[in-house]
Structure 1
Amino acid sequence: MKKYSTLFLAASVTFALGGCASTTDNTSTTATASPVPSVQQAVTPEVEMPTAVQNGKITLKQVMADPQWMGALPTDMGWSVDGSKIVFEREKQDSALSDVYIADINTPNEAVKAPLSDLHKYRFDERVVRNDGVIAFAFEDSVFIQFTNGKTVQLTRGGNSLSNLSFMTDGRLMALSGNRFVAINLETGTREELLSWEFADEPKAVEPAEDYIAQEQHTLIQYIALQRKNRQEKEDAEQALAQSNVSVAPAPFYFDKSHRLAGISVSPAGNYAVVATTESKPSRDDSDIMPHYIQEDSRIAAKSVRQRVADAEPVNHELWLLNLKTGEKSALNYFSLPGYNDDVLASVKTENAKANGESYEVNRLPRPITLLQSWYWTKPSIRWHKNGEAVAVMLEAWDNKDRWIATVNLENKSLENQHRLHDDAWVNYRFNAFDWLNNSETLYFQSEHSGYAHLYLQTPGEKPVALTSGQYIVDDITLSPDDNYLYFKANIEHPGLYEIYRADLSDKSIETMTDLNGMTDYVLSPDGSQLVLSHSKVNKPAELYVKPAQEAVAAAQITQSTSDTFNALPWAVPKVVAIPSSHTDAPIYARVYLPENYDSKTSNKAVVFNHGAGYLQNAHLGWSGYFREYMFQSMLVQQGYVVLDMDYRASAGYGRDWRTAIYRQMGTPEVQDLRDGVNWLVDNANVDRARIGTYGGSYGGFLTFMSMFTAPDLFAAGAALRPVTDWAHYNTPYTANILNTPDIDPIAYERSSPIYFAEGLQKPLLINAPMVDDNVFFHDTVRLVQRLIELEKENFETAIYPVEPHGFVQPSSWLDEYRRIYKLFEENL
């Protein structure tokens, strides 16, 4: 039974985002539309009340101190190699290092530090299991084998490292070692090279004559002809020996010497490999540097940084099928992929050409295509079935408009498309889980084609079958070892409430695994019998829980980590409100923090916090990743401020249309939503429209600029922290999704970059900029400040932080930054 009042349902109904049609099935409670709630009707999250609440005063000095004062919080939960121990880490007191803790599944409350001598059993890098239960795992530069009798043997220690561990169909361990794959017989220790490769011209015993006089030499001089004959015979004999004698390593495969490896995977049967290569060229220029002023030697260091999107060039991967038995190398072309040569940006190019007085003709040349390798998705994009007879690849267009899942026809040496996901804006980089079921040649994968990220099964050649559907997102997919279930995290009941579920693959039903009411993550035990959980409330950091992987069994808490000091302070409990939008049918979910007597006759001052990342969710019912900001906002509430924290359009958790509303117009929908939020504060929280400030970092800093520059009536003051000022200087993977690239779509960059709107500044503005930020460069702030100077603006200040990266590290910097923000609000609100 949920611990919310019936008003919870009023707040959790209609959250359809735009025009995506999606039906509700047995995975979601049917609800009917109701009016968007007022403050009194908002969701009040279930919270844990402090154990010793005192009339304590929240101070900046306290909340910006080293977070260790909050307690020894558990992180990096997981399982031991054998699955008998719960594993997690806690930061050491007065140290940046962490200790590893282990707890027996039968006595989970009795966690102890893991001995250093056994650390490899708990913090391993890779783990694979053979059909008979033998386990191979890697730790640092070593590989270990755990046999079914419990005995563990160290296979390697140092030397050439082994990675990409997997078991072959014949029981041998396969691993990547440098530029080769090897197979190791664990019973005999025999090691066989399966595949090696080189990026070089393939050596030839006899080169053809380059010109007339060389040809003449070969014909006239018998000595030359004999030497060429001898070399050719020797090479033929060596190749024949390598192909017919297992005692000789096979010849390497050769690839274009101007290329590099982009991806590789070998069949568990050891007979084929799929390889992706790409042109090897620098990813950055010599001018891509950042000065670092505070050094041990008191000199200035030039640190290398990433390339700007303005300098990005298209990338294409060449895909190859290698026959390891015959040495044949076959190109896998992309012609079978639907839309591979669509000019998906034709309308964008036409608009930009027209703005320049030019015209554009549709171009049907093949698009650059790569293995899916986004900065967020780091798992392999080439997946062999464990039987070694089927392989699937996940590919993406470099223009970010298409993603394909294709299988490889090993006989015809061709790709066969199974699923195309197309988006006129951009394909989401987050929802890309895919793999084979263990016991059948059936794929499972995520797709956002319905408008929300959902889970699908597909037998190659047939249509996908939806396992989930509705106006919610499914993420963090895990297949159970027995192939019976797919576990996942989802916000089925409310956009800001995440629980753990599983899909029963036999009858396609959805089972609820947790009922904790907040933000919950999980790791399934290796045998599929247990779940270790991380769960938080809005006013309480995550603690660990454990439960059997059964629907009806409750979770048991196993850590209690927050300090007495933290527990004693009166942290605010924000309500989650659905604010009506004037630009979309969906509401804008937001956290609203209300002080005592907020509805008295005296009107309130308010602050609007803008979360970073753009595609991030903060108006949820768990502990925020912006925990310092949460504590700062609790302090403001204690002093009589109202605080609003909105999941403006572009935020995560609300489906595809909400995400892509900012396509080619970053800063426009979000500021519209901020205006709706300000209007709501005035109408519902007794806020004085003339006394509202705003602040945020990174994307939140960008939104502070855009609101202060393009809607100067909206806020009385603003603080922009580590802010983006010109998107052409940001990175390619993130920015090109939303704005394409500057050479193709300058219109999008100029309508989305604050530096073009700086003349609109009228109210006090604070800019806080870290100087060694390799994410949003300090250069962004420098250029904008110069622009403001040239525009003769007087009401701005800049604070610089010489040793700080994008995410501040030093407590003194955090304190200085937030003292300035607080002072800005106190003086202007």
Structure 2
Amino acid sequence: MKKLLIFFLSIHTLCAFAQIERNNQSALTIEQIMQDPAQWIGTSPSGIEWSDNSDKIYFDWNPEKDTLASLYAYSLKGKKIEKVSPEEKRSLPGRSQNYNSTKTQKVFLRNGNIILKDLKTGTEKQLTNWLERVSSPYFVRNDQEIAFTKDNNLYTIHIASGLISQISNFVAGDERPEAGKSKQEQWLEQQQKELFVVLNEREAKNKARENRKKAEEPKEPSKIYTGKKRVSRLALSPSGDYLIYSLYQSANGAKSTSVTHHVTQSGYAEEHNARVKVGSPQGSSELGIFDIRNNQTVKVNTAQIPGLKDLPGYLSDYPDRMPKDSSEIKNRPVNITGPLWNPGEDLAVVVALSADNKDRWILLLDPATGKLELLDRQRDEAWIGGPGIGGWGFSTGDMGWMPDGKSLWFHSEESGYSHLYAVDIHSKKRTQLTSGQFEVSDAFLSKDQKHFYFTANKVHPGVSHFYRMPVGGGEPTQITSMEGGNEVTLSPDEKYLAIRHSTGNRPWELYVQENKAGASPTQLTHSTTTAFESYPWRMPEYITFTAADGATVHARLYRPASPEKQGPAVIFVHGAGYLQNAHKGWSSYFREYQFHNFLADNGYTVLDIDYRGSAGYGRDWRTGIYRHMGGLDLSDHVDGAKMLAEKYDVSPQRIGIYGGSYGGFITLMALFKQPGVFAAGAALRAVTDWAHYSHGYTSNILNTPAEDSLAYVQSSPIYFADGLKGALLMCHGMVDDNVQFQDIVRLSQRLIELGKENWELAVYPVEAHGFTEPSSWTDEYKRIFKLFEENLK
């Protein structure tokens, strides 16, 4: 009977899918748009790099639809593209490239060995030939030596002589003192010294020999015992006198989750370890200094950092946990990263981030004393983040020394948008270099250090352009001109731009342009297939609407050629939360973009919103979801539905919603908390309870469950499942190690216990968070289309 029931259910599903296919009014099919994108769309160029002499652009590409992409090169002289030969590919520099102070030499790794290249002559010199691999080579000591890391220790190699010196001596484990002698042994030894002169004379000679040997032999670096901590980020000062290092301590007692794989090569179910859950104990890092001249370590005292006792604002919601007096307040733990060494003197800049994500300090470090001085503090009662600043991870990568060596440039969201600032390390005077209601990212100094180059969405939140600006600030000059997405790689001689450009309906292609404002770009690649180009892909309409709280919301709109009066509509919710999708470039959601064209062909109006929490719109938009996911981010979609009904003649009773990951979460909240607004929703790989998601992401936005339970309860769909009214489809990969399968299983049990019947769950046994199999994509989107056809038509 059970087998017969499964047979009839399968026949019913197949028939339903077949009926949906017959109803399709589009030239596209779901099978077509969900197939392998390399075969159907084509492969855009990626991994753009210039040759050292700026005469070639190297990039990964696959115009021939091979199994894997290959390396290609465009010659500026020959003006043609050719596949790079294996011999030329082997001769190219590897990763970890660094330049000397005059940019006449560079050092890099090839096959794990150190290569020195003269950029004027193009000649190379291999400095090591080891089976063991090294990492992170860079110039030190007036460019006369190269520092590198091997086996968790730092070494230098003298370029002229080839002499290799070990600088650090890190030893795993704890120092073990020599075993002490018993009182009986000490008494006998003392008696011998008192009775026999010859023993005292021999001991004196032995000590003299040891002292002479120590004086004549090179001084061995002092052992630095690391216990159970892991050494990382070894950075030698330019003078070679100081070494700054990080020690990472893994969390104790952090319980990992596991993911069960049912479809395996062995035929047995297999358990795979995965991440910990939010609120679990976290690892920590500390900074250390090794004074090489004095052969001793210097302690960095983080208690010097101002504001360590400042309490987060959310504690006001828990008055019973507020300390009664300041003596009860402990210093908040911090993690420090860096250093960024001053090129002219032994001073370094480090960055500290509080473990509660509320503070970022930029600090000047004196390696001789371990003293820290504050250069800038950015505090955010939500969490630190934004372009060039950090958020989910932080570093010194988006800051640098100004040409005078006395000031530091960096990013800050103090104005509400990520902008460039400079601070004098002596006077502590700070200067804002860029300003306006736009975001600056990917900043760096020109070769002559007279200008900044950076990317910004100055003309429109959804358009990125490349700019040049005087190093002291001023009006930026826009260099790129094509509307859409522009990813620029500047040539080493700074005469040309390699531009990866896309539009809302055309994938990324490679262009080259002179580094001049107003110069015309030349398209180099043509990557899309004839089959893909045969369909007239819509350019999305870029619209704005006003949310209930007065905020301006940016969105993409797709409309049928002849919209039905009081017709159906679908709202798409992008994932990640902090991501921008209503931009004017090619979407990373390219399958969904095609599906939206398919829906529009079938009579649906489709809206794609950059809701509260999305990237590209500044600090207040980014943190608008703090302590309440499913608050303003959900109401933006409710307001979008209202706008569709009022402005685009959409029936308020015929609106659906769907999305994956964060988009799946919003879909659940929409159907649970806004009954009647959405007739149907498809929640894909959805977070159902934020207390079961990862720490790095969730603790920024909601703090931790034990510390801020109110935020988790009001933000998690599982608490609102009783409100389900519309038709709900849930789809989830069973081996998802990001939003784990347990999440959707727990919600399913909740819906069962609540007696809800208007929901279904489709599971995908071999899929993780990002689906890879075309068959899975096809099945999922056929189910989504069927959901909308049955409930919105």
Report the CA distance between 1:327 and its aligned residue. Answer: 1.0
Q: 1:793 to 1:238 in 2, by over 3 A?
A: farther
Give 1:795's aligned amino acid.
Answer: N
| 2:341 corresponds to | 384
1:401 aligns with 2:358: yes
Give, as a single letter, the amino acid of the residue that structure 2 aligns with 1:72: T
In structure 1, the partner of 2:600 is: 637
SS in 1 for 2:169: strand
Write out aligned runs for 1:559-638 (5 A).
Answer: 559-583=525-549, 585-598=550-563, 602-638=565-601
Question: How far apart are 1:106 and its partner, in Å?
Answer: 3.0
- Report the CA distance shift for 1:451/1:743 in structure 2 as closer, same or farther (over 3 A): same
State the partner residue of 1:127: 97
Match of 2:629 among 650, 658, 666: 666
Q: Deviations over 1:339-381 (max 9, x none)?
A: 12222x2x43352465xxx765464211111125xxxxxxxx3
Matched residue, 1:551: 517
* CA distance in 2 between partners of 1:700 and 1:217 (Å): 80
Picking from 59, 64, 67, the partner of 1:88 is 59
Give the percent of matched residue pairs that are identical in Structure 1 and Structure 2. 36
User: Matched residues in 1 for 2:161 and 2:317: separation?
Assistant: 67
User: What is the aligned counterpart of 1:185 among 158, 170, 185?
Assistant: 158
Task: Report deviation, 1:507.
Answer: 5.8
- Following TM superposition, by how much is the alpha carbon of 1:252 offset from its aligned partner in structure 2, in angstroms? 3.8
Report the counterpart of residue 3 of structure 1 in structure 2: none
CA contact (8 A) 2:738 2:769 kept: yes
Shift of 1:614: 0.3
Residue 744 of structure 1 and its aligned partner are, at CA, apart by 0.8
Q: What TM-score comes out, normalization by structure 2 length?
A: 0.89
One-letter amino acid of the counterpart of residue 119, structure 1? K
Q: Is 1:336 matched up with 2:304?
A: yes
Corresponding residue SS for 2:127: strand
More moved, 783-792 vs 681-690: 783-792
- Aligned: 1:693 with 2:656: yes
Residue by residue over 1:595-638, the C-alpha shift from the partner in whole angstroms, topping out at 9 and shown as x without a partner, is: 1232x6x2210000000000011111111110000000011111
- Cα deviation for residue 323 of structure 1 reads 0.7
Q: 1:683 to 1:331 in 2, by over 3 A?
A: same
What's 2:113 paired with? Answer: 142
Q: In structure 1, what is the equivalent of residue 400 of structure 2?
A: 435
Q: Are the counterparts in 1 of residues 298 and 367 from structure 2 also a CA contact under 8 Å?
A: no
Amino acid at match of 1:418: L
Q: What 5-or-longer segments of structure 1 have no aligned partner? A: 1-54, 373-380
Determine helix, strand or coil for the equivalent of 1:311.
Answer: coil
Q: State how far apart, in whole Å, the 2-side matches of 1:767 and 1:351 are.
A: 34
Residues 1:453 and 2:421 are matched in the alignment: no
Q: Secondary structure at the match of 1:534?
A: strand
Query: Residue 639 of structure 1 aligns to which amino acid in structure 2?
Result: N
Residue 149 and residue 675 in structure 1: after superposition, are their counterparts in 2 closer, same or farther (change >3 A)?
Answer: same
Q: How has the CA–CA distance of structure 1 residues 163 and 330 changed in structure 2, closer, same or farther, with 3 Å as cutoff?
A: same
- How do residues 287-298 of structure 1 correspond to structure 2 at under 5 angstroms? 288-298=257-267
Q: Is the 8 A contact 2:149 2:234 kept in 1?
A: no
Greater CA deviation, 299-308 or 144-153?
144-153
1:738 counterpart (701, 719, 727): 701
Report which structure shows greater RCO (CA 8 Å, sep ≥6). Answer: 1
Q: 2:763 aligns with which of 779, 797, 800?
A: 800
Q: Does the 8 Å contact 2:481/2:518 carry over to 1? A: no
Structure 1 counterpart of 2:383, which letter? Answer: W
Which residue is 1:715 aligned to?
A: 678
Q: Is the 8 A contact 1:81 1:121 kept in 2?
A: no
User: What secondary structure does 2:308 align onto?
Assistant: coil
Distance 1:472 1:284, change over 3 A: same
In the alignment, is the contact (CA less than 8 A) between 1:473 and 1:491 conserved in 2? yes
1:163 aligns with 2:135: yes
- Tell whether 2:283 aligns with 1:318: no
Q: What is the rounded CA distance, in whole Å, between the counterparts of 1:304 and 1:229 in structure 2?
A: 60
CA contact (8 A) 1:199 1:257 kept: yes
Aligned partners of 1:239 and 1:251 also within 8 Å: no
Separation in structure 1 between the aligned mates of residue 130 and residue 252 of structure 2, nearest angstrom = 31
Distance, in Å, in 2 between the alignment partners of 1:335 and 1:493 is 44
Write the distance in 1 (CA, Å) between the matches of 2:686 and 2:757.
Answer: 19
Query: How big is the shift at 1:811?
Result: 0.8
Secondary structure at 2:643's aligned position in 1?
Answer: helix
Question: Residue 265 of structure 1 corresponds to which residue in structure 2?
Answer: 235
Partner of 2:395: none
CA positional deviation for 1:390 = 2.4
Relative to structure 1, is the Cα distance of residues 212 and 605 closer, same or farther in structure 2, using a 3 angstrom cutoff?
farther
Per-residue deviation, 1:667: 0.9
Report how far residue 592 of structure 1 moved.
1.1
Q: Following superposition of structure 1 onto structure 2, how do residues 162-561 of structure 1 map, counting pairs within 5 Å?
A: 162-170=134-142, 171-202=144-175, 219=190, 222=193, 240-241=215-216, 245=218, 250-281=220-251, 284-285=254-255, 288-313=257-282, 315-343=283-311, 345=312, 347-352=313-318, 354=320, 360-361=323-324, 363-372=328-337, 381-428=338-385, 430-432=387-389, 433-437=398-402, 440-461=405-426, 462-505=428-471, 508-561=474-527
Write the deviation string for residues 75-128 of structure 1: whole angstroms up to 9, x where unpaired. Answer: 1112234433211101475655220111123345x1111112222454621211
What is the identity, as a one-letter code, of the residue corresponding to 2:270? Answer: A
2:785 aligns with 822
Q: CA deviation at 1:731?
A: 1.0
Which whole-Å CA distance do the structure 1 matches of 2:729 and 2:208 have between them? 77
Match of 1:99 in 2: 70
Deviations 1:542-564 (A, max 9, x none): 11112222224232221121111
> What is the CA–CA distance in structure 2 between the aligned matches of 1:726 and 1:228, rounded to whole Å?
72
The structure-2 alpha-carbon separation of the partners of 1:102 and 1:56, relative to structure 1 and needing over 3 Å to count, comes to: farther
Q: Distance in 1 between matches of 2:63 and 2:370?
A: 54
1:684 aligns with 2:655: no
| Shift in alpha-carbon separation, 1:294–1:239, aligned structure 2, 3 A | farther
Are the aligned partners of 1:56 and 1:569 in contact in 2 as well (CA < 8 Å)? no
CA–CA distance in structure 2, aligned partners of residues 281 and 661 of structure 1: 31
Report the equivalent of 2:20: none
1:283 shift after superposition: 8.2
Task: Identify the range of structure 1 (778-787 vs 606-615) with the bigger mean alpha-carbon deviation.
Answer: 778-787
TM-score, normalised to structure 1, is 0.86
C-alpha contact (below 8 Å) 2:244/2:289 kept by paired residues: yes
Residues 81 and 122 in structure 1, CA contact (< 8 A), matched pair in contact too: no
Aligned residue for 2:732? 769
- Number of residue pairs aligned between Structure 1 and Structure 2: 749
Distance in 2 (CA, whole Å) between partners of 1:231 and 1:738 is 66
How far off its partner does 1:746 sit?
Answer: 1.2
Query: Within 2, Cα distance between the matches of 1:429 and 1:490?
Result: 13
Query: 1:212 and 1:764, CA in 2 relative to 1: closer, same or farther beyond 3 A?
Result: farther
Structure 2, unaligned stretches of length 5 or more? 1-24, 390-397
1:325/1:300 CA distance change after superposition, 3 Å:
same
In structure 2, the partner of 1:154 is 126
